Structure 1
C-alpha cells in the first residue's frame, strides 16, 4: 500500500504559485508548476481545478492564461488544502463486514473508529496551525541553508 501524496503535491503547487507571484508574476502556467513538481501538467491542472473549487486558486483563460492564488499565502492553511484534495477520512474500516461471531470481528470496528477519530483530530489541528506562508518561508530557509 503506498502513501497518498496529493496534499504534498497541492501544497507544492500553491507554494510555487505564491513564490512566483511574490516575484512579480501575475499567473503561473501548469507547465511551469509541473516542471517543479516533476509531473505531467495534466496532473497539475486536475489538482488545481479542485483547489479552484475550494476557493484556494483561480485561473485565467485566453491570452496570459494561467493560475494564481485566490488568497494570500498567510490566509491558506494546510487544512484548507487537505480538505480540498483529500475527501474523506485518512483511515477506513474493512471493505466488508468482519465475522460477527468472532470477538475480534465484533469489536475491531468500534475500537479502530475511536483511534482513527483521535488521529484525525490531531492531524486536522496540526494542519490548521500551518499556513502556506509558513511552508513557503520554511522552503526558502531550507534553500538558503543549502547555498
Structure 2
C-alpha cells in the first residue's frame, strides 16, 4: 500500500489545481456531507459548546435500537436543542429511541412538547412530538444520521 500518494488525494490534486476534478461522484458527495457536518458543528452553539446527554444508555434493552450500530444523544445551549441519532448499519432499519425522564429534567425540557425542528444535515423540517419516558420512532437510511435542531 502506498501511503505516500493516495489515489483519492491525487484525484483531488487534479494536476496541481486542487479542485477535485479527478474525484469520483462518491468522493464529491462525501466531501459535501462532511462540509455540512463540520459547518453545523462550528455554527451551532449547542453542538460547539452545549450540554450533552447520552441517550444510548437508556436504549440498551430497547429491541428497536441497536446499540452496536446506532447512537443517540441531546445537545443543549440556552434555548437551542439538537437531538442526534446516528445509524452506522449498511441497511435501513426501523428504529425507536427511548427518551428517559431524566433527560428532560437535566435539559430543562417540558415533559411533553411538540416543536418544529430542522435537520441540520439535510435542511428538512419536521414536527417532533417528544414526551418524557416515551419513544420517538424513525427509519434511518443506511449509514446516515439526523440532527434535529429546535428552539424552545
* TM-score normalised according to structure 2 size: 0.25
In proportion to residue count, which structure has more strand?
A: 2
* TM-score normalised according to structure 1 size: 0.26
In proportion to residue count, which structure has more helix?
A: 1
> Greater relative contact order (Cα 8 A, min sep 6): structure 1 or 2?
1
